[in-house]
Structure 1
Amino acid sequence: MARRLHVRPPFRADHVGSLLRPQALYDLLQEGKCSINDLEVAQNEAVKEVVSLQQEVGIKTITDGEMRRAQFFEGLFDLLEGMEFQPERPITEFKKYISFIGFLLASGVPHFPSVYCNGKIRRTKPFYVDHFKFLKNLVSPENVKNIKVNMCAPTWFHQRHGSDQTYDLNVYKNDDEYFDDLACAYREEIRELYDLGCRHIQIDDPTFIIFCDNRTVNGMEEAGVDSRALLNTYIRAINLCTRDRPEDMTISLHICRGNYRGQHFFEGTYDAIADQVFHKLDVDAFYLEYDDERSGTFAPLKHIPRNKAVVLGLVTTKRDELETVEGLKARVHEAATAMSQSGVRSKEEALDQLCISPQCGFASVWQGNPIPQETQKQKLSLLVEAAKQIWPE
């Protein structure tokens, strides 16, 4: 049975999660020398600052901006029992069809940090529970439900290493066994966060987009990887994580094209995955990147089921240029028209399934994208104003 859409697209104007580090924290990280206590104090102050920013511009969703992470995926895999951090993993143990791995290989880089699963996976400590508790104390009780926690997709390191190098084959015989245990850890985290009042979790997924990138798909096939079977494996992995969640817990998924200091890694339209991913993924909303021509047209949106929301990433975080309210309004109506082409909904119904946001975070790594703090604020404010005009209360 399909889940109902319990919040009309998270919020009409939203943001993906990460925000530029305030100057004090940025300078501390840039210097690279401080005590753990000094770092925590700076992170706490940074979280307070970005919460104030979100409240000031009128963004109702509240995140901690990922101020406690050097990279978006930190604080999850590295805390799991059975996962070993390897600061110098041989580059030959990565899949060269992944674009940035191919670049590292071509550059002669011999090693790159990663993790390796050498034991049974267990969640013996929380990932982001303490972060949520801190954030919870910064908002009024009635706004706790508006806090969003971002989590890296369970497929992240498998994407890099494949079925032969992600886990010890003496521990897990196949991908299904590996993702079964990994998903159990995710569900435990989701349940604990829910019990504390969390009602929105966003899975940040840079893996589904690889199936839209022809160069990557061709590289997989040349390496003997069945790309369609792998896509199904990744859909199953996400669905295991979201299974049995409470009815009033919203789980959204951001399909990311890569975001390293303003650079993307993958191109291609959503056509290759739209029918399968939009229908089969057990999530409530999709955050989709639509900030430039590499994303293609809105045509794949006709595959969005009626009980799922779409957050259109129309505002770029990668360039220091400001969109316009009129431009955003025109694109939202263009998207709604495309969604209605399937005949399962009217344009008005399609419009009711839509939201707007930046196409990605402003700082998936602590250095951030090459835009100033003021531009970040202007872009968030622009989203709020556009949303008010598109969806007047």
Structure 2
Amino acid sequence: MSTSRTQHASPPFRAEHVGSLLRTQALLEKREAFDKGQCTLEEVRTVEDLAVEHVCRVQLETGIGSITDGEYRRGMFFEGVFDQLEGMTIIPNRPINEFKEYIPHIKMMYRFGVPAADSIYCTGKIKRTKPFYTHSFQHLKSLVPPEQVGHIKVNICSPTWFHQRHGSDLTYDGAVYETDTEYFTDLALAYQQEFRDLYDLGCRHIQIDDPTLAYFCDENMISGMKEAGVDHEALLDTYINAINLCTQERPADLRVSVHLCRGNFKGGQHFSSGGYGRIARKLFNDLDVDVYFLEYDDERSGDFEPLKHVPLGKKVVLGIMSSKTAVLETSGYLKSRVNEAAEVLMRGYPPRLKEVALDQLCISPQCGFAATWEGNHLTEEDEIQKLRLLVTTANEIWGEEAS
């Protein structure tokens, strides 16, 4: 099952991880203390620096391909973008009736009687006057060998994140933006500026973390949108275009990937189900990204058949390992899943040889190990074993030094 193409000189690497990693005990304790008002933000930052140094060493020692800061400087995966933009106003305890009930995780909030939740509302013209993650990148850059700076991956939440929660009517002030196109155009300019600054610092891989696209695979959400009179196909097109505005005119050697998340909240709680078939053609052909991180850790993600729509030249990172449980998969299981996916790609549009199909594939956990700072139900040793297994399995499939 090996191929002569044994090594990637640029991301994605054969053995990948999505981005977030379990926080160190010291960081967990310090963040808890901060939330209780028992320490300052500066004290948290000091512990964060030490924790990032630790998690960087962990990744280098396991041999995993991409290197991240584990999202240690965030409480949740989406922090650090919208809250940094001029024109965005943080709304504490925004009433639940200003969230769209058909969204899977919002529906759960309604079900449990959650009266309000923090959110962000666009009250003025969007401008990027402060960077999102350049400081974090520079710190991580100082911790890796010079030849591995290009292996650093920066995760950024999708530009569609708050829009899907609130819809066009409650995402932005109508006196500021009259249409979604105007809103997403200015938002994209901010993303483009961040991408350029990261690139100039040496970043060569930016991953857009996007739960909104995977939600369109969920039949319950589609039914709810129809009941609410929302055109789900038109909205999907809007979101694809919103991401494409962010990625257009990027440098040729900057890889942009998208991770379709199905939910990974406080211990791995998921929110949406359904295979990628409903959106596959548009997802793989209309979305202007280089790489797709797809969740395939259980039956709610569907089968591999939608991969038939993946064109030549794009990469798919198969999330066939679970980040939600300590149970360690076997190399044999992971290899069988890769082989199954390759067989589907061979029958794709256009058909391709097995070697070509394998060359389009990589492997990873289905999601991060800690999309929220509390993390999933694993220990760091469990996490390390899983990362090492990915590297070992990748070497067995694609040859030595596959990462």
TM-score, normalised relative to structure 1? 0.97
Partner residue, 1:275: 281
CA distance in 2, matches of 1:341, 1:134: 44
Which runs of structure 2 are paired with 1:43-54 in the superposition (5 Å)? 43-54=48-59
Name the CA distance, whole Å, in 1 between partners of 2:358 and 2:379.
32
Supply the distance in 2 between the matched residues of 1:55 and 1:256 (Cα, whole angstroms): 25
- Number of aligned residue pairs: give it: 388
AA in 2 matched with 1:357:
S
Deviation at 1:60, TM superposition (A): 2.6
Q: Which position in structure 1 is the counterpart of 2:4?
A: none
Amino acid at match of 2:309: H
CA distance in 2: counterparts of 1:53 and 1:198, whole angstroms: 20
User: What secondary structure does 1:37 align onto?
Assistant: helix
Report if the CA contact (8 A) 1:325-1:386 is conserved.
Answer: yes
After superposition, the C-alpha distances for 1:143-179 in whole angstroms (9 at most, x for unaligned) are 1111000000000000100111000011101100000
Counterpart residue identity of residue 345, structure 1: R
Amino acid at match of 1:15: H
Counterpart for residue 5 of structure 2? none
- Whether the aligned pair in 1 keeps the contact of 2:53 and 2:143 (CA below 8 Å) is yes
Which residue identity does 1:177 align to in structure 2?
Answer: E
Match for 1:82: what amino acid? G
Whether 1:193 and 2:198 are equivalent positions in the alignment is yes
Deviation string for 1:190-224 (max 9, x for gaps)?
00110111110000000001110000011011111
Contact residue 14 and residue 65 of structure 2 kept, 8 A: no
The answer as to 2:42 corresponding to 1:40 is: no
- Counterpart of 1:151 in 2: which secondary structure? strand
Summarize the Cα distance change of 1:272–1:287 in structure 2 as closer, same or farther, 3 Å threshold: same
Provide, for residues 312-368 of structure 1, a one-character-per-residue CA deviation record: whole Å limited to 9, x for no partner: 001101112110011111110110001111242112210010000000000000000
Q: Residue type of the partner of 2:24?
A: P
Match of 2:71 among 66, 73, 94: 66
One of 370, 381, 393 as aligned partner of 1:374: 381
Does residue 383 (structure 1) correspond to residue 383 (structure 2)? The answer is: no
CA distance in 1 between partners of 2:191 and 2:29 (Å): 33
> Which stretch of the first structure deviates more once superposed, 95-104 or 340-349?
340-349
Residue 27 of structure 2: which of 25, 28, 35 is its match?
Answer: 25
Secondary structure in 2 matching 1:209:
helix
Q: Which residue of 2 aligns with 1:348?
A: 355
Matched, 1:231 2:236: yes
Superposed structure 1 runs of 4+ greater than 3 Å apart: 6-9
Q: Return the TM-score normalized by structure 2.
A: 0.95
**What per-residue deviation string (whole Å, max 9, x for no partner) do you get for residues 231-276 of structure 1?**
0000000000000000110000001101102111000000000011
Counterpart in the other structure of 1:112: 117
What amino acid maps onto 1:23 in structure 2? Q
Deviation for aligned residue 1:377: 0.6
**Structure-1 separation of matches of 2:352 and 2:43:** 54
Q: CA deviation at 1:100?
A: 2.0
Separation of aligned partners in 1, 2:156 and 2:67? 15
Counterpart CA distance in 1 for 2:211 and 2:61 is 30
Are residues 1:362 and 2:369 paired?
yes
Aligned residues: percent identity? 59
Q: CA RMSD in A?
A: 1.1
In the TM superposition, residue 372 of structure 1 has moved relative to its aligned partner by 1.3
The answer to whether the 8 A contact 1:8-1:353 is kept is no
The question of whether the paired residues in 1 share the 8 Å contact of 2:127 and 2:186 is answered with yes
Matched with 2:320 is 314
Q: CA deviation at 1:86?
A: 0.8
- Provide the C-alpha distance between the structure 2 equivalents of 1:115 and 1:132, rounded to a whole number of angstroms: 25
CA distance in 2, matches of 1:153, 1:275: 20
Does the 8 Å contact 1:310/1:354 carry over to 2? yes
Distance 2:255 2:365 in 1: 19
1:198 maps to amino acid: C
Structure 2: how far apart are the matches of 1:109 and 1:155?
23
Contact 2:18/2:368 (<8 A) preserved: yes
Any stretches of 5+ residues in structure 1 without a counterpart?
Answer: 1-5
Equivalence for 1:3 = none
Report the 3-state secondary structure (helix = DSSP H, G, I; strand = E; otherwise coil) of the residue aligned with 1:201. strand
Segments of structure 2 that go 5 or more residues without pairing to the other structure are 1-7
Measured against aligned partners, the alpha-carbon deviations of 1:85-112 in whole angstroms (never above 9, x if no partner) come to 0111111100000122122222222210
Q: For the residues of structure 1 that align with 2:309 and 2:113, how far apart are their CA atoms?
A: 42
